[in-house]
Structure 1
Amino acid sequence: MAEVGFPGQHTTTTTVTSSTAVQTNIRFDPSYIKTIPGILKIVQVSCSLLGFICIQFSNLNSASRGSFFSWISMIAFWFTGILLGFYLFHILEKFYKIPWLKIEFVFCALWTFFYLLVSILATTVHDNPHSAASFFGFVAMIAYAGDCYLKWVAVRAGGLAQGSRVVSKQTTSVESPPPREGY
């Protein structure tokens, strides 16, 4: 039986601290292109441009399928190229409060689907430029899918696009002494 005035107690305190370490100066850092996300961005930009060029060499480039492929590849080329520049010059780190990883995740997911769609449509046109464009479209689709997965993992972990966020968790627990037998 517990003594009067000494109720059984159990207290748990959890403290979570988070610190963000970023450098807000703009600087050129070519080491990004040696990372997996950097290599994926270079593949995405290259395949988007090459697919666009292939479609433009087709006699059927102004048909709906060719125009759709050109539209998708040019949006991908410019958006991903600008992001690559932002990463190389650490502009994303300067504006770290913008949810860059979520923006990239949504874009990569959409363009994975769009490249799947336009590449399948390009294969239905029976000429060599469309076949080459569909190859580059499928490669770009794989690169966007891989980048989408990396962004999804980073978003779930609470990471930043550039810089670092350190989250530490400390848990303390206080328990009451075991109850004593009555006299």
Structure 2
Amino acid sequence: MEYSTRPQRISCQYDYIRTIPGTLKAIQFLCDLVALILGATAPAISYSGHKGFFTFVAILAIIITTILFLLALINLQAVCIPDRWLLIEMFWCAFIALLFFIASIVVATIAKYNGVYGAAAFFGFAAFFTYLADAIYRFRLVRAGPRGRHTETYTSNTTTTTTTATRQQPTY
């Protein structure tokens, strides 16, 4: 079985933004930001624990999504832990999708008092769906095995060094 590999190095990968995970990260960031703005600026209600939890989830999502986006943009995940990166991002997306689902339901229950809460719930659900789509996409890549993971490695178009190797079966 022959395969081609390119040397992995830390460099800025602008093409990442055009990929499915890069586009999903950009949409996630925008949904998180709008949800945070709407959730934080909503008027306080006497039992505003709803608002606090929603704001916490949005801030957490913005911070971690930005970090993961920057790590993928500089290709650090392909250099440090390429075997586990898909699992890390898949579990992160599933976890934050669950938190956004819960937080959006909680905020939607108080939307009858102010429309800003309804808008925040809408963008919370939009963030939930984008994180869920990202988790499903990464789950499919994990299920595809090593052959399916080549789409998760981002290499520069200027790299021209290609190594061809033949993988041999071990003899017992």
Distance change in 2, residues 1:28/1:163 (3 Å): closer
Structure number having the greater strand percentage: 1
> SS at the partner of 1:99?
helix
Tell me, yes or no, if structure 1 residue 32 matches structure 2 residue 19: no
CA RMSD of aligned residues (A): 2.7
Aligned residues: 153
What is the aligned partner in structure 2 of residue 145 from structure 1? 132
Give 1:80's aligned amino acid.
Answer: T
Tell me, yes or no, if structure 1 residue 93 matches structure 2 residue 78: yes
Question: Where in structure 2 are the equivalents of 1:1-150 lying within 5 Å?
Answer: 21-60=5-44, 63-97=48-82, 99-125=84-110, 126-150=113-137
> SS at the partner of 1:93?
helix
Q: In structure 2, how many angstroms separate the alpha carbons of the residues matched to 1:94 and 1:170?
A: 24
Q: Which runs of 5+ in 2 are unaligned?
A: 156-163
How much does 1:97 deviate?
4.2
How much does 1:18 deviate?
8.4
Q: Runs in 1 of length 4+ with deviation above 4 angstroms?
A: 17-20, 168-171
Q: In structure 1, how many angstroms separate the alpha carbons of the residues matched to 2:2 and 2:52?
A: 48
Greater Rg over alpha carbons, structure: 1
Q: TM-score, normalised by structure 2?
A: 0.78
Identity rate, percent: 28
Structure number having the greater helix percentage: 2
Q: TM-score, normalised by structure 1?
A: 0.73
Distance change in 2, residues 1:20/1:98 (3 Å): farther
Distance change in 2, residues 1:76/1:122 (3 Å): same
